[in-house]
Amino acid sequence: MSGRVSIVEVGPRDGLQARREPVETAARVELIGMLRRAGIQRMEVGAFVSPQRVPRMADTAQVMEATGSRDRSGDMVLVANMRGLEQALEARARAIAVFTAASDAFAERNIGSTVSASLERFAPIVAQARDEGLFVRGYISTITDCPYAGRIEPDRVASVAKALRGMGCCEIALGETLGKATPVRIAAVVEAVARHVPMEDIAAHFHDTYGMGVANVWEAVRLGVRTVDAAAGGLGGCPFAPGAAGNVATEDVVYLLEEQGFDTGIAMAGLLEAVRFCRDGLGIAPSSRVFKALGASL
């Protein structure tokens, strides 16, 4: 196989949102700049959500202004409600993401509602965003396992994906939140969702708790997925998923895909510089195998 795989860098949002320690606005701005210079074209730069629940994202508007994210189609922000959409529009965001889950138990802890209620809440948000010309991504968490309800059936994920697609989401991101699935289970979910969503509009968003992140990415790509989320250095973790580790590391994914013949458009040296900044500037130890192998030599 060959071709192009688009990497969506989620470190500045998903990777930093759960940090207990404060993250300076200037540091987040610097990280975004380094990632762009490495060749990242699509990136989650922040979230317009409750600052009480997610204080690390309270400066998203300032970050967008400082990094030139306004009117930049490749930069995406998460929104939780209509007020979040209003803030995104005020900041001139061109892409947003809404988020739900495949598990009611997880959705209730994460966003305070059942899955069906969350879909009802997001429908007018997606409609208005599309009317404003925004690209809209729909996230589905817990696509294989829920920390509270156990295993999730692929058909359950497919029904949520169908609903998000029906309300106007341009892209469906499949979130393996706990990082414990293996490729055979990822394949079952991707194949179920692909019955309702074109493969080119499916994104893989996998965590790496059990060391399966890269293997699961490859399985999704093997099946035809061409958009993969990752976080520099393996940043991340979910406050509502006890024991879940960070996202699959961008540098591990880039190494895999480039060695397998795919083009990502990302320069490894520049990417590793960004990971080094996370370590030295933010005090976050990288978890990736590639940084441990190459980071000291660049």
Active-site residue set:
238
For residue 180, the tally of other CB atoms under 10 A from its CB is 18
Half-sphere exposure of 120 (CA within 13 A, CB side): 5
Which residues, in sequence order, are CB contacts of 175 under 8 Å at separation 6+? Answer: 139, 140, 141, 142, 143, 205, 206
Length of the chain measured in residues: 298
| Of the candidates 159, 156, 153, 208, the residue with the CA atom closest to the CA atom of residue 185 | 153
CB distance 83 to 51 below 8 Å: no
CA-to-CA distance for 156 and 117, rounded, in angstroms? Answer: 15
CA-to-CA distance for 103 and 107, rounded, in angstroms? Answer: 6
Beta bridge partners of 140: 100, 174
CA 65 from centroid of its chain's CA atoms: 21
Q: C-alpha angle 110/113/114, rounded to 5°?
A: 105
Q: What are phi and psi of 151, to 5 degrees?
A: -70, 145
Which H or E run includes 28?
helix 25-37
CB distance 229 to 252 below 8 Å: no
CA-to-CA distance for 38 and 57, rounded, in angstroms? Answer: 23
